[in-house]
Amino acid sequence: MGFFDKEIDITRNIRLIEWLKSELLRDVANLFQSLANGMKEEIHDSAADTLANIILISYLIGRRLGLGYTAIEMKIENKVKLGLVENHDVEKHYGDLSELSKHLNGSRANRKEF
C-alpha cells in the first residue's frame, strides 16, 4: 500500500468515525426525547431499538479506534465487577449489576455451545 493509499484510508476512517459520532449523538438525543415523553408501552420497542443502536455504534467506534470487540467486552465485565465490589447504588437498590453479570455470563456460555 502506497503513501497515497494510506492517506485515503486514514481520511476514510476519520470520516467514518465522525459519522458514527453524529449517529451516536442523534440516538442519545432520541432516547432522551423518548424518556422526556414518558415510557409508555409503545415507546419500549423504540427505546430498545435506540439503545441497541447506541451499543452497536459504540462497538463500531471502538473498532475504528483500534479496539477489539473482546477488549471492549472485557472492560464492560471489569466495570460490572467493580460496581459489584463497590456496591454501586444501582446494585444496592436494584441488583442491576448482578443481573447484568448473569446475563453476560449466560450469553458467553450460549456462544460456546455453537
Please count the other Cβ atoms lying within 10 Å of the Cβ belonging to residue 102. 11
For position 68, what pLDDT does the model report?
97
Could you tell me the residue ranges of all domains in the chain? 1-67, 68-114
Q: What are 52's three cell numbers?
A: 441497541
State residue 1's pLDDT score. Answer: 57
Report which residue type is found at 106. G
Give the tens place of pLDDT for each residue, 13-30. Answer: 999 999 999 999 999 999
Q: Give the span between the Cα atoms of 50 and 27, in whole angstroms.
A: 6
pTM of this structure: 0.83
Residue 7 C-alpha cell reads as 492517506
CA-wise closest residue to 25 among 7, 50, 44, 8:
50
pLDDT in tens, the chain (114 residues): 566 677 788 999 999 999 999 999 999 999 998 888 876 666 788 889 999 999 999 999 999 999 999 999 999 999 999 999 999 999 999 999 999 999 998 877 777 655
The reported pLDDT for the residue numbered 3 is: 65
Helix axes 96-113, 69-85, angle to 10 degrees: 140
